[in-house]
Amino acid sequence: MITDPFDTGPTGAFRTLCRNYPDDTVYKGADGFRSLWGPIFYRGRANGSARLLVIGQDPAQTEAFTRRILSGQAGRRVQGFVEKLGFSKSYLMINAFVYGIYNQDMALPHLNDPGIQSYRHQWLEAAFAPGKIEAVVTFGTPAFEAWRAFKATPAGQGVTAFHHRALHPTADKPNGPITRKDLLDNWNVALQAVHPNIQHPDATQPLVLYGNDFNAAELPPIPSLDFPMGLQPWMRTTDFWATLATPPGTERANISVKVP
């Protein structure tokens, strides 16, 4: 018998936001989004108990199936990061966009379109309303710009949680300007900045920094507690099982899934 814990879903204001989200007309008007796969809202504790807030960019093809953000390669990297801070459950992760992007040049200029921005601000207001979040980490430039826009609002100006900006979890590219070591050096700076500003981690532990590459322990499975009921373990422990099909189709409509 399978007894893995699972996410029982959002509560309170978060539940209302999941019911009343901007439909695809808001994002269709802002070209570049894969709205046909639907909105994907969060990962972690959408119930007011989070102590750490993570902001990312947008859901990719893996997330179209898991229905939780940051659940592929980027998600496992971020999971290792938050676990280094002592968090195994008391975190909330949201994205700047609730719909996936298929063309960054077309989509990113719409980061602060009124309908997109106002809905994101509602999520941030709901996250901070219980008064428990102690630190915020933004991964990537769109996430940072989303945070900066929120901080300029009356609600955002009242938020005192510590914030640190970090590189996007997949910023390192083969032959690109950012190497794996560059990424991990940046994350080590982030860890050392955030760690002293956490008062209530799930576990108190010494901070262990990254080396020149990820080791296996730094790419942990996504906890089953973060996923809907019945999601299979291979979806939490394996990367790249969902990829763009050939051909990818209009708006990258075609996704190929292979069970490892």
Using one digit for the tens of pLDDT, what is the confidence trace for 207-259?
A: 999 999 999 999 999 999 999 999 999 999 999 999 999 999 888 899 999 99
Within a domain: residue 233?
Answer: no
- Is residue 256, in this structure, part of any structural domain at all? no
- Say what the pLDDT of residue 19 is: 97
| Paired tokens of 5 | 């814990």
Domain span holding position 167: 12-213
Number of domains observed in the structure of the chain: 1
Return the exposure string of 139-161: e unless at least 16 CB atoms fall within 10 Å of the residue's CB, then b: bbbbbbebbebbeeeeebeebeb
Instruction: DSSP for 144-159, please give it.
Output: HHHHHHHHTSHHHHT-
Instruction: Flag whether 91 is in a domain.
Output: yes
3-state secondary structure of 182: helix
On whether residue 58 sits in a domain, the answer given is yes
> Is the pLDDT confidence value at 2 over 80?
no
Q: What is the pLDDT of residues 240-254, one digit of tens each?
A: 999 999 999 888 899
CATH number of the domain encompassing residue 200:
3.40.470.10
Closest listed residue to residue 134, CA positions, set 199, 191, 186 = 199
Q: Which two tokens stand for residue 202?
A: 């799930």
Return d(Cα 194, Cα 102) in angstroms, integer: 32
Query: pTM of the full predicted structure?
Result: 0.97
Distance, in Å, from the CA atom of 100 to the CA atom of 210, rounded to the nearest integer, reads: 29
* Residue 194 is assigned to a structural domain of this protein: yes
* Residue 234 falls inside a structural domain: no
Contact present, 209 and 30 (Cβ < 8 Å): no
Residue 241 lies in a domain: no
Task: Give residue-wise pLDDT tens across range 164-183.
Answer: 999 999 999 988 899 999 99
| Buried/exposed code over 210-245 (b: 16+ C-beta within 10 A; e: otherwise) | beeeeeeebebebbbebbeeebeeebbebeebbeee
Q: Does residue 227 fall inside a structural domain? A: no
Q: At residue 210, what is the residue type?
A: Y
